[in-house]
Amino acid sequence: MTNEAKTKASSARRFLRGVRDGLPIGLGYLAVAFSLGITAGNVGLTAFQGFLASFLNNASAGEYAGFALIAARASYLEMALMILVTNARYLLMSTALSQRFSPDTPFFHRFLIGFNVTDEIFGLAIAQPDAIDPVYLYGAFSMSIPGWSLGTAIGILAGDVLPANVVSALSVAIFGMFLAIIIPPARRNRVVGALVLISFAASWAFAVLPLVAGLSAGTRTLILTLSISAIAAALFPVKEKEGTP
Amino acid sequence: MSENVYIYIFIMAGVSYLIRVLPLTLIRRQITSRFLRSFLYYVPYVTLAVMTFPAILGNLDAPFLEILPGLAALVVGVVLSWFGAGLFPVAAACCAAVFLLQFLT
């Protein structure tokens, strides 16, 4: 076997290994994106628009917040700020990933991998012992991206045909998933637990109190997220180990 | 609103991409500011909590019976997540709670 053939064979194997590790992620995304699609459908997005949004964004909380802003006909600036805040954690993940590229890896891979840094893909990437292998990650992308974008479109289509009481029941699925993400760390970490409770209370207060209740839901989310997180970061700086997601 | 939706989607996509690709291409060092690292660590929990409650209850001006299914979903979701149930089971149980309690209203 020539050297070139060897490299080809091994990159096919690395790609397939990524496909194998990405398959459960893709299936999980299909289910999460389905409930996101129900929300998108409630907001009035077509299946194609939902597909496009998910294909280009690959972010559950960010997209949910974005869809709420579309429904509220928010300003474009508000939309940009909202996505910046709800996806801010990807800044940290991408920064961490930037440390793990081998100097031998061609630079253009960073532009492609940057397209799909999600919580799960980040987990997969840092679970690898060596430097980041773009081919392996592209294999995982080939499962996760279709799962995510098609799941959203399917959710929107399903929302159109299912009875109203089923759709309103499915509409809380996204909140269930958010709870499943925040409650376990809230149980383990007292500061996170207190923050979740404070966030619930403050969010409720902002929704009912005169003056602030007049602000859009998006603006309230922005203000509360920035202020509560900043105060918490000042009062309870995390230890080095926790700071890496 | 159909002409605006695509602009919204492209703004979302553009900001999301920049957030991910700028650190990958520009930042070659770890973020050292402890405040900034802590802030980025707390943001996802706070933003998800803020977006979940009270939105899960639905229309807050509605009579209590109409808020009840959402309240049940919240309790079911918190309890199951507390005991370590995964994303999908928690979401399914929340849906089931709302579906069943809707018949009361």
Collect all residues with Cβ–Cβ distance below 8 Å to A45 and sequence separation of at least 6: A53, A67, A70, A156, B5
pLDDT at A104: 87
Q: Yes or no: say if A243 and A91 are a contact pair by the CB < 8 Å rule.
A: no
Helices B2-25 and A88-98, axial angle in degrees (round to 10): 30
Number of domains present in the structure of chain A: 2
Query: A146 and A42 in one domain?
Result: yes
Structure token pair of residue B83: 């005991």
Distance of alpha carbon B51 from alpha carbon A115, whole angstroms: 25
pLDDT at A2: 55
Q: Give chain A positions within 8 Å (CB) of B78.
A: 179, 183
Query: A15 and A71 in one domain?
Result: yes
DSSP B61: T
ipTM for the complex shown: 0.89
User: What is the residue-wise DSSP string for A159-175?
Assistant: HHHS-HHHHHHHTTHHH
Q: Does a structural domain hold residue A176?
A: no
Query: A224 and A119 in one domain?
Result: no
Domain that holds residue A224: 189-245
Q: Does a structural domain hold residue A184?
A: no
pLDDT at A243: 44
Closest partner residue to A62 (CB to CB) among B16, B22, B52 is B16
Tell if the CB–CB gap between A61 and B93 is shorter than 8 Å: no
Query: A227 and A108 in one domain?
Result: no
**Each residue's pLDDT tens digit, B47-101:** 889 989 999 998 888 888 889 999 999 999 999 999 999 888 998 999 999 999 9
Mean pLDDT by 10 residues, chain A (245 residues): 61 93 86 91 95 95 93 92 90 82 90 92 82 94 96 95 86 87 93 97 94 81 91 91 48
Query: A129 and A29 in one domain?
Result: yes
Whose tokens are 């309890």? That residue is: B79
Query: A92 and A195 in one domain?
Result: no
Interface A–B counts its CB contacts (< 8 A) at: 290
- Taking CA–CA distances from A75, the nearest residue in chain B reads B8
Closest partner residue to A238 (CB to CB) among B38, B55, B80 is B38
Query: A206 and A166 in one domain?
Result: no
Closest partner residue to B50 (CB to CB) among A83, A95, A225 is A225
| CB contact B83 to A (< 8 Å) | no
| CB contact B41 to A (< 8 Å) | yes
Distance between terminal CA atoms of chain A? 42
| CB contact B32 to A (< 8 Å) | no
